[in-house]
Structure 1
Amino acid sequence: MAASAGNNVAGRGKTVPEILALAFGAVYLLVGIVGFFITGFDDFFAHNTEEKLLFFEINGMHNVVHILIGVAGLVLGRTLSGARTYGWLLAVGYGAAFIYGLFATGQEWDFLSLNWADNILHIATALVGLVIALMPVRNAIDSRR
């Protein structure tokens, strides 16, 4: 059974980039869902909500972004080429979110209600995205061994 380059072949285990994409996807999806238990569904673009998940300030729109990022990780993490694409999305998207946060934190126009903990997490996630996108892969991790 042949498969195109970068796609899973039946019986092949997962590569580290695929595992990371799936794990980050699951975590971000969970964070987005749990976030709605804190913020509820009103005033999606509220600024300075003081509603926090651990140290991270959130609002409804922030939760939606986390859910979308999570679903993307779960969908794209199924293949190596998809995981690499997800890595680039994280690197570029969260790199941009970090830059946005440098200017937006504490401002009335900050529609994501960011704080400095968010900014640190965003740059760390961008770096993880680069790892997923660029990590060399020699062998798949086979859970059957």
Structure 2
Amino acid sequence: MKNSPNRLVGVIFGAVYLLVGILGFTVTSGVDFIATEGGLLLGLFEVNPLHNVAHLLIGAALLIGGLAGVRAAKAVNGVVGAAYMLLGIVGFFIADTGANILALNTADHILHLGSALILLGVSIGADKARLTASPAV
């Protein structure tokens, strides 16, 4: 794993997003599952229970991909990165509407876009030689 940027990023981001998902439940007591406004995690990021579950699922996918191997990590990083890029952009347009079922705020959008850039960057740019090298006979 130490030689694969995709595996390392997948495991680290996976662990962080799992932790964020768990910690999110500490600030969403009394918040409806799909409320458009939620509790503030770290006093900055707005979350509701659905948002917390999404973090748990994404964290698990990243962690499993990172632990499974380079090809899996690269694929999961790319898919999650693309989803976060879309969410980061769309989030700006759905804030303050009924479509904001994840209770997203500006800090969330910026974090999602930052995560997307890192995940997509490592997925696209790293571990190319590792996947194209043919095994010795």
TM-score range, shorter chain: 0.7 to 0.9
Question: In the aligned structure 1, how far is the partner of 2:46 from the partner of 2:113?
Answer: 16
Aligned partner letter, 1:64: V
Instruction: Tell me if the contact between 1:21 and 1:77 (Cα under 8 Å) persists in the aligned partners.
Output: yes
Moved over 6 A (4+): none
CA RMSD of aligned residues (A): 1.8
TM-score (norm: length of structure 2):
0.84
Displacement after TM superposition at 1:26 (Å): 0.3
The reply on whether 1:74 has 2:63 as its aligned counterpart is yes
% identical aligned pairs: 37
Structure 1 residues 13, 127: closer, same or farther in 2, change over 3 A? closer
Q: What residue is the counterpart of 1:31 in the other structure?
A: 20
Unaligned 5+ runs, structure 1: 1-11, 140-145
Aligned partner letter, 2:97: Q
The reply on whether 1:61 has 2:50 as its aligned counterpart is yes
Unaligned 5+ runs, structure 2: 131-137
Aligned ranges 1:75-114 → 2 under 5 Å: 75-78=64-67, 79-114=69-104
Q: What residue is the counterpart of 2:135 in the other structure?
A: none
Question: In the aligned structure 2, how far is the partner of 1:53 from the partner of 1:42?
Answer: 13
TM-score (norm: length of structure 1):
0.80
Return the structure number with greater helix share: 2
